[in-house]
Amino acid sequence: MIKITLPDGTIKEYSKGSTPMDVAKSISEGLARNVISAKFNDTIVETVTPLNEDGSLTLYTWNNDEGKKAFWHSSSHIVAQALEELFPGAKLTIGPAIENGFYYDVDFGEHTVSEKDFPSIEKRALEIARGKHDFKMHPVSKAEALEKYKSQGNEFKVELIENLEDGTITFCDHDTFTDLCRGGHIPNTGIVKAIKILSVAGAYWRGDENKKQLTRVYGISFPKQKELTEYLQLLEEAKQRDHRKLGKELELFAFSQKVGQGLPLWLPKGAALRERLEDFLKKAQKKAGYEMVVTPHIGQKELYVTSGHYAKYGEDSFQPIHTPKDGEEFLLKPMNCPHHCEIYNTKPFSYKELPKRYAEFGTVYRYEQSGELHGLTRVRGFTQDDAHIFCTPEQLDEEFKKVIDLSLYVLGSLGFENFKAQVSVRDLDNPDKYIGSVENWEKAENAIINAAKEKGLDYVIESGEAAFYGPKLDFMVKDALGRNWQLGTIQVDYNLPERFDLTYKGSDNELHRPVMIHRAPFGSMERFIALLLEHTGGNFPLWLIPEQAIILPVSEKHEKYAEKVLNSLENNEIRALIDNRNETVGKKIREAEMGKTPFMLIVGESEEEHNTIAIRRHGGEDLGSISVQDFVDLVTKEINSTLKSF
């Protein structure tokens, strides 16, 4: 007999060789019908994997992330079989599950796959799925595996196998199809009831632009057709909310091939939006005791060698800038933190003067491959709302909690209410990825976990997600479409103070190392605005939107009154403009709706006579005619309801 520990702590005995499905059946038939994957002692296993030792078992259904991962990975096998059959000679490479669905990278040779092929791929994949073929894992020797793929002329699988150890290689079979795979499948293909091919894109083999370009086939699948229909409706909504589309329509930003890929140009309305976001955070930071600093866009290469950034990112970043002086090299700034360390180093500090909180909206530059660039979410030049706090070890806990408060204030003021906190710690199995002592890492990780607990955050701990110099706390925000995004980061760092020899004089009159906190509630201005655009659909909070109202005179003779209304609004710090083009009021209203303007103020003969404005709200709601002061009060009340003081 073996002892199996379930997630609730219950321990049950089973015969040696029992499977996760046997365990599920012993709990309930309903659970057994829904179980599609399992984890045993931290290893993902099949539902039919024999369990031969004591251990902890977690059973997954479609409702669990791990269950979806197994479902989508299995679906990639089904689609791969369809692709092999429909495109003879196609060479399969890898086909993992991703956050939503799966992809398979394929070398189609002379074939070209496009949208017109999607229906036939979906049809054949569903035919395979309906066969209810079991997924069966079996081990193979390295020699066997190599022979199989060499005989097929698949150099991609051969390369993968050559990097594997003999005795660790497994194949997965279903129907007539076999694929190199390490496991993690649903019981059989019949569980997949709906499959959709979403898109195709180019992808370099192993992400290396010097290697062959493959075709990446993206897809998604569901256990019910109804769920696929709902997902496709959500995708359509996401298209309408795409920040690249909205940014163009609202005239916020643009890109120019002449300026360069990944380098956004902020148009007047977008620049004004950014400025308001910056002013909002600067005001809160000032109350929280931050001091603004400004640092150059470049720095000597040695600065980033000292910080460790060059060793980690140098090869993949913009190449050094050479000056006329022999041997002198500069880099475009990839990070603000080394510069802030040098600001701290400009004078000696006593423990009585700490913490020092330096903040900067600093623009940094990182070279991203052109295929990875995506609107504002992946760019080559971006501005971080960066700040670095230098404090004593005794102050760390309090300072970290204060940064959490500031981050929560930012998220709440911008309508991001649905989020979880993620504590990102080291991968203990790969210590070479990180700099600094084990002792400092342990202190930093414990400080973050304790602060998250004390603040009552709903948090998870993720191993291997830490920065190379320290652990961090990220806010994982769910947007209006149910998608998860990382917004706002707080990191504890014992390493850069060591590398830059930062000190302060303690109460014992000896020199000590400060602890450094990195924080950026927005993350980057570019990415934050992109996510805010998609979350709100361009309907920004009233306090933030570029134009809060547009005044629409019914005819030319009412323009003077419109200017009087505009003057009153501006005196009350309400952003408005007059649309006095020679167009009908109906057309102006339609265009104001398209531009997401919150209020349309129509002024004609009656309004001028009674000193009022007729108000139409974005979306079509008619608020009737009211005085300008009543409108000012309405706007002020709405702003105050969303934008609290920090």
Question: Which pLDDT value is given to residue 435?
Answer: 78
Q: Is 181 marked active-site?
A: no
Q: Are 187 and 34 in contact (CB under 8 A)?
A: no
**What confidence category does residue 643 fall into, taking pLDDT thresholds of 50, 70 and 90?**
confident
Q: Of these residues, 179, 386, 493, 579, which one is catalytic?
A: 386
**What confidence category does residue 318 fall into, taking pLDDT thresholds of 50, 70 and 90?**
confident
Q: Is 374 marked active-site?
A: no
Question: Which pLDDT value is given to residue 481?
Answer: 84
Residue 315 has pLDDT above 80, yes or no: no
Percent share of the chain, pLDDT over 70: 100
Question: Quick one: average pLDDT of 627-631?
Answer: 94
Sign of the alpha-carbon dihedral angle for 300, 302, 307, 309? positive
Q: Of these residues, 174, 216, 366, 402, which one is catalytic?
A: 366
Helix (H, G, I), strand (E, B) or coil at 289: coil
Residue 449 has pLDDT above 80, yes or no: yes
Q: Is 380 marked active-site?
A: no
Q: Is 366 marked active-site?
A: yes
Q: Of these residues, 174, 518, 519, 588, which one is catalytic?
A: 518
Around Cβ 152, how many Cβ atoms within 10 Å? Answer: 13
- Model pTM? 0.79
- pLDDT tens for residues 143-178? 999 999 999 999 999 999 999 999 999 999 999 999
Strands (E), 82-132: 91-92, 97-98, 101-107
Q: What is the mean pLDDT of the chain?
A: 93
What residues have CB less than 8 Å from 525, skipping those under 6 apart?
Answer: 274, 277, 278, 361, 382, 383, 384, 385
Question: Which pLDDT value is given to residue 145?
Answer: 95
Question: Quick one: average pLDDT of 330-337?
Answer: 92
Report the alpha-carbon distance of residue 432 to residue 99 in Å, rounded.
28
**What confidence category does residue 644 fall into, taking pLDDT thresholds of 50, 70 and 90?**
confident
Residue 468 has pLDDT above 90, yes or no: no
Percent share of the chain, pLDDT over 90: 79
Residue 323 has pLDDT above 90, yes or no: no
Q: Is 478 marked active-site?
A: no
Question: Which pLDDT value is given to residue 642?
Answer: 85
Q: Of these residues, 172, 181, 337, 391, which one is catalytic?
A: 337
Which whole-number Å values give the CA distances from 361 to 292, 333, 384, 525, in the listed order?
A: 9, 13, 6, 9
**What confidence category does residue 317 fall into, taking pLDDT thresholds of 50, 70 and 90?**
confident
Q: Which residues pair with 459 in a beta bridge?
A: 421
Report the alpha-carbon distance of residue 606 to residue 434 in Å, rounded.
71
- pLDDT tens for residues 596-613? 999 999 999 999 999 999
Q: Of these residues, 384, 395, 422, 548, which one is catalytic?
A: 384
Report the alpha-carbon distance of residue 10 to residue 47 in Å, rounded.
20
Question: Quick one: average pLDDT of 346-361?
Answer: 97
Question: Quick one: average pLDDT of 573-578?
Answer: 94
Q: Is 581 marked active-site?
A: no
Report the alpha-carbon distance of residue 149 to residue 309 in Å, rounded.
40
Residue 432 has pLDDT above 90, yes or no: no
Look-up of token digits 């060591």: 498
Around Cβ 587, how many Cβ atoms within 10 Å? Answer: 11
Q: Is 172 marked active-site?
A: no
What's the residue count for the chain? Answer: 646
**What confidence category does residue 430 fall into, taking pLDDT thresholds of 50, 70 and 90?**
confident
Q: Are 413 and 641 in contact (CB under 8 A)?
A: no
What residues have CB less than 8 Å from 352, skipping those under 6 apart?
Answer: none
Question: Which pLDDT value is given to residue 76?
Answer: 97
